[in-house]
Structure 1
Amino acid sequence: MAKDNSFDIVSKVDLQEVVNAVNQAVREIETRFDFKDSKSKISFDGKSEITLVSDDDFKLRNVVDILESKLVKRGVNLKALRYGKIEPAAGNTVRQNVTLVQGIEQDIAKKIVKAVKDSKIKVQATIQGDQIRVSGKNRDDLQNVIKLIKEMDLNIPVEFVNFRTF
């Protein structure tokens, strides 16, 4: 008799890849000629905050471009970044905080569950903390749900993990 198959929908960022990308971006800023005698720097707290500091808005945008290019090369999805406002900082510099999104927020999770239920695919989707579990009897239905979610316009990166067949 057929049992349920399931998978989880998660939104996670590999923090070690972020650390590596930040280190590469810092090295590039230190060696580039256009950043000579600049106060530009990038710092990462190891959890969820990246702080960018530079002399002015133009150089800050260049710092952001360097960081984003390094993150893309390391396989980090840029949808996981939330940019704060550019604000003045000490020493005639500007600062911007970038937050890494970890986990699926409740309103986005509800939107995903509603879309799955509205699709009339014979599966159950339940919110479990900061992830969503989708289960159903037919594997093809689960693949259709994955296709549906990939086509949705979500502002977060989503991954499909823990495929279980019983």
Structure 2
Amino acid sequence: MPTFDIVSKTEISEVDNALDGVTREIGQRYDFKGSRCSIERKENELTLLADDDLKLKQMHELLVVHFTRRKLDPGALDYGKPEKAAGDSVRQVITVKQGIDKDLAKQITKAIKDSKMKVQASIQGDELRVQGKKIDDLQGAIALVKGLKIEQPLQYINFRD
């Protein structure tokens, strides 16, 4: 029976490359001269440290630009709430989304079932498996999921018939 998987994975090595670009640009830009702005990554969490809210906003823009250059979807970033750090500086934790969480998986599965397509979607850990009798039905399911307003980047892999 033909199947495919819906996953959400972000290449951490590409994230590192994007962060290197951001760090390099922060070091070179005139408006960041003398500032103590930095960005660090631990596992799937990025920590931004900026002098003030304006610099933090500029770092967000740099992050989006460098993510796009590395062909990463900025939608994979889940911005936490900015908090005060030492002195007047601001710290923000950004999570790089990996995998599909339960709520999103249920939402996608429900949308596929409600569409009355002749496919079944099942949740398998942090990914979804969709199977049907015809490849055309699977392609319709991919089009349906792409049409949903989902913030998180999704990939469609292991297309087998």
Equivalent residue number for residue 106 of structure 1: 102
Q: Deviations over 1:108-162 (max 9, x none)?
A: 1011111111111111110000000001110000000000000001121111001
- Per-residue CA deviations over 1:56-80 (Å, capped at 9, x if unaligned) read 0001111111111001110111111
Matched, 1:26 2:23: yes
Q: TM-score, normalised by structure 1?
A: 0.95
Alignment of 1:147 with 2:155, yes or no, is no
Match of 2:57 in 1: 61
Alpha-carbon distance in structure 1 between the residues aligned to 2:15 and 2:119: 35
SS in 1 for 2:159: strand
- Counterpart of 1:6 in structure 2: which amino acid? T
TM-score with structure 2 setting the length: 0.97
- How many Å separate the matches in 1 of 2:55 and 2:35? 9
Match of 2:126 among 120, 130, 135: 130
Q: Secondary structure at the match of 2:5?
A: strand
- The alignment partner of 2:100 has SS state of coil
**Ranges in structure 1 where 5+ consecutive residues have no aligned partner:** none
> Matched residues in 1 for 2:49 and 2:120: separation?
46
Aligned-pair CA distance for 1:92: 2.5
Residue among 11, 15, 39 paired with 1:14: 11
Unaligned runs of 5+ in 2: none
Residue 36 (structure 2) aligns with: 39
Report percent identity of matched pairs. Answer: 48
3-state SS of 1:102 partner: coil
Distance 2:126 2:3 in 1: 17
Residue type at the aligned position of 2:112: V
- 1:121 aligned onto 2:117: yes
After TM superposition, the runs of 4+ consecutive aligned structure 1 residues lying more than 2 A away are none
Which amino acid counterpart does residue 124 of structure 1 have in structure 2? Q
Q: Say what the alpha-carbon RMSD is for the aligned residues.
A: 0.8
Q: Per-residue deviation at 1:91?
A: 3.5
Distance in 1, Cα, partners of 2:12 & 2:87: 30
Greater CA deviation, 113-122 or 141-150?
Answer: 113-122
Report which stretch shifted further, 90-99 or 7-16.
Answer: 90-99
Kindly tell me the number of residue pairs found equivalent between the two proteins: 161
| 3-state secondary structure, aligned to 1:70 | helix
Structure 2 counterpart of 1:70, one-letter code: H
Matched residues in 2 for 1:60 and 1:109: separation?
Answer: 32
Aligned-partner Cα distance in 1 for 2:151–2:64: 16
SS in 1 for 2:117: coil
